[in-house]
């Protein structure tokens, strides 16, 4: 089948490269000329481990092409994936302007029977809106499909190539057959393709992300309570995570969730619920708890150092999670703003997100080429992102470089008894008791 993917952002690039990897001819189309020019030279606009190899290999072997000619890409397709952005509006709802603009182009330029797949994260009812727009212009039959993505940034290639499950909402046997054929190489180990109606597929994506966000906020609030009552959240996490009904995933406390999915999707689902007069009170609290949690590292630092005016603070980790350069809704941004507002100087390091930080923060902070380079003369170190290279550092080197041996660990990377024995003033998340 000839595959066209419209949108070369995070989702579109992963989808296009992975489908090409299994032998499909794929065209990725985008109106951004600079982005397409870069991709044609194997220069990716995002950092995702392994994706550059997939793009380069499939381009060189002729299975993957990039173009700005969206109409031509549509005209040759048997299946079109819509993977353009759906940023949140001011009221939290998903902005569908780009999705519906693509729908109009599909209707105008399709030249054969077509399967149209919404791959962008979109509210329930979006596929119906897309179909209505396409039908105004279409001269050929088409079939709608919702195929939500469940890709973790930093592990997207493995998630796509070896999925836990593939969720597909369809409106016809034709769409079901085409999508089953397309995804057959990815589920050979027996993982399920779950076919369902389109509204259920659209809801599944939001419900999954909302559940994961809820687990994170719940554990962060438990961690905050642990500090007050003298419990150790690491022990509590292991205790509840061993319950088969709960499981261990997404129970690690930290400085709050960020990224391109959880914040946006929780807001959009809450907004959809309000429009339907079905308030999601739990998710409203999840949002509130996450907003508060993003200030915890600043509060802990202030508890240790007091007045932060004129203080130099080293920050390790800028991306919202490791193995990505994504800083959307990152806790580091909240921390940096709070530190600067308090009159502190910030020196930061991140293995891959430095350029993104410069784009977002500019020259308001200092950027260190290495993690140890950020420490010289600093009054404290704050760890925001749990990159592997931060997990086992040279503690003697850290202590010698810091003006004050203060470490605020937002990811609970270190043993607090060891840190105390080494002479550090050490603060972490939710560890108030003894192991």
- Tell me: the pLDDT tens digits for 30-62? 999 999 999 999 999 999 999 999 999 999 999
Question: What DSSP string describes 95-164?
Answer: --HHHHHHHHHHHHH--S-EEEEE-S---TTHHHHHHHHHHTT-SS-EEEEE----PPTTSHHHHHHS-S
pLDDT at 224 over 60: yes
Q: Which of 109, 175, 151 is nearest to 15 (CA)?
A: 151
What architecture does CATH give domain 3-195?
3-Layer(aba) Sandwich (3.40)
pLDDT at 200 over 90: yes
* Distance separating alpha carbons of residues 279 and 283, to the nearest angstrom: 9
pLDDT of residue 310: 97
Using pLDDT thresholds of 50, 70 and 90, give the confidence band for residue 87. Answer: confident
Q: Which of 27, 59, 21 is nearest to 42 (CA)?
A: 59
- Tell me: the pLDDT tens digits for 167-191? 999 999 999 999 999 999 999 988 9
pLDDT of residue 93: 75
- The token pair at 269 is 């689902």
Question: What DSSP string describes 213-253?
Answer: HHHHHHHHHHHHHHHHHT-BHHHHHHHHHTSTTT-STT---
Cβ distance 74 to 110 under 8 Å?
Answer: yes
pLDDT at 434 over 50: no
- Tell me: the pLDDT tens digits for 257-280? 999 889 989 998 998 899 999 999
Cβ distance 25 to 101 under 8 Å?
Answer: no
HSE value, Cβ hemisphere, 13 Å, CA-based, for 404: 16
Q: Which of 391, 360, 353 is nearest to 154 (CA)?
A: 353
Cβ distance 431 to 233 under 8 Å?
Answer: yes
* Distance separating alpha carbons of residues 249 and 252, to the nearest angstrom: 8
Catalytic residue among 18, 226, 261, 276: 261
Active site residue 261: yes
pLDDT of residue 433: 55
Cβ distance 159 to 234 under 8 Å?
Answer: no
Cβ distance 257 to 328 under 8 Å?
Answer: no
Fold matches, 3-195 and 197-435: yes
| Average pLDDT for the chain | 95
Query: Cα 260–265–270 angle (5° rounding)?
Result: 150
* Distance separating alpha carbons of residues 435 and 345, to the nearest angstrom: 36
CA dist list (Å): 368 to 346, 364, 371, 419: 10, 13, 7, 24
pLDDT at 384 over 90: yes
- Tell me: the pLDDT tens digits for 124-141? 999 999 999 999 999 999
Q: Which of 103, 156, 105 is nearest to 130 (CA)?
A: 103
* Distance separating alpha carbons of residues 250 and 228, to the nearest angstrom: 22
142-146/166-170 β-pairing: antiparallel
Q: Which of 180, 169, 160 is nearest to 130 (CA)?
A: 169
- The token pair at 307 is 């007045």
The ranges assigned to domains in the chain are 3-195, 197-435
What architecture does CATH give domain 197-435?
3-Layer(aba) Sandwich (3.40)
Which burial class, exposed, middle or buried, applies to 170 when counting CB atoms under 10 A from its CB (0-12, 13-18, 19+)?
Answer: buried
Cβ distance 138 to 147 under 8 Å?
Answer: no
pTM value surpassing 0.85: yes
pLDDT of residue 435: 35
């Amino acid at each position: 089948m000839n595959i066209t993917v419209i949108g070369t952002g995070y989702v579109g690039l992963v989808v296009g490269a992975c489908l090409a990897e299994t032998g499909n001819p794929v065209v990725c189309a985008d109106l951004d000329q600079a982005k397409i020019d870069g991709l044609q030279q194997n220069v990716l606009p995002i950092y995702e481990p392994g994706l550059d190899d997939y793009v380069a290999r499939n381009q060189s072997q002729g299975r993957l092409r990039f173009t700005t000619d969206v109409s031509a890409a549509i005209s040759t397709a048997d299946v079109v994936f819509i993977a353009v952005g759906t940023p949140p509006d001011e009221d939290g709802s998903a902005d569908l302007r780009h999705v519906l603009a693509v729908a109009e182009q599909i209707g105008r330029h399709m030249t054969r029977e077509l399967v149209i797949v919404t791959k962008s994260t979109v509210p329930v009812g979006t596929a119906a809106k897309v179909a209505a727009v396409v039908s105004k212009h279409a001269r050929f039959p088409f079939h709608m499909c919702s195929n939500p993505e469940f890709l973790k940034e930093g592990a997207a290639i493995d998630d796509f190539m070896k999925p836990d499950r593939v969720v597909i909402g369809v409106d016809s046997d034709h769409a079901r057959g085409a999508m089953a054929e397309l995804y057959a190489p990815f589920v050979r180990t027996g993982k399920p393709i779950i076919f369902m109606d389109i509204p259920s597929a659209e809801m599944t994506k939001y419900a999954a992300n909302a559940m994961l966000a809820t687990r994170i906020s719940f554990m962060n609030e438990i961690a905050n309570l642990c500090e007050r009552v003298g419990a150790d959240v690491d022990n509590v996490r292991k205790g509840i995570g061993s319950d088969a009904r709960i499981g261990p995933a997404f129970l690690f406390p930290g400085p709050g969730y960020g990224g391109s999915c959880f914040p946006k999707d929780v807001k959009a689902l809450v907004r959809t619920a309000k429009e339907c007069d079905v308030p999601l009170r739990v998710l409203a609290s999840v949002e509130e708890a996450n907003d508060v949690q993003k200030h915890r590292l600043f509060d802990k630092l202030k508890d240790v150092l007091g007045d932060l005016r004129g203080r130099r603070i080293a920050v390790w980790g800028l991306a919202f999670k490791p193995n990505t350069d994504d800083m959307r809704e990152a806790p580091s941004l909240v921390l940096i703003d709070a530190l600067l507002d308090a009159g502190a100087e910030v020196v930061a390091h991140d293995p891959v997100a430095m350029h993104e930080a410069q784009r977002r923060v500019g020259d308001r902070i200092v950027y260190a080429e290495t993690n140890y380079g950020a420490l010289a003369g600093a009054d404290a170190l704050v760890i925001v992102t749990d990159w592997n290279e931060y997990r086992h550092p040279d503690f003697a080197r850290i202590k010698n470089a810091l003006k004050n041996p203060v470490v605020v660990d937002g990811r609970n990377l270190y043993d607090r008894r060891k840190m105390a024995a080494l002479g550090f003033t050490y603060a972490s998340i939710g560890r108030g008791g003894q192991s």
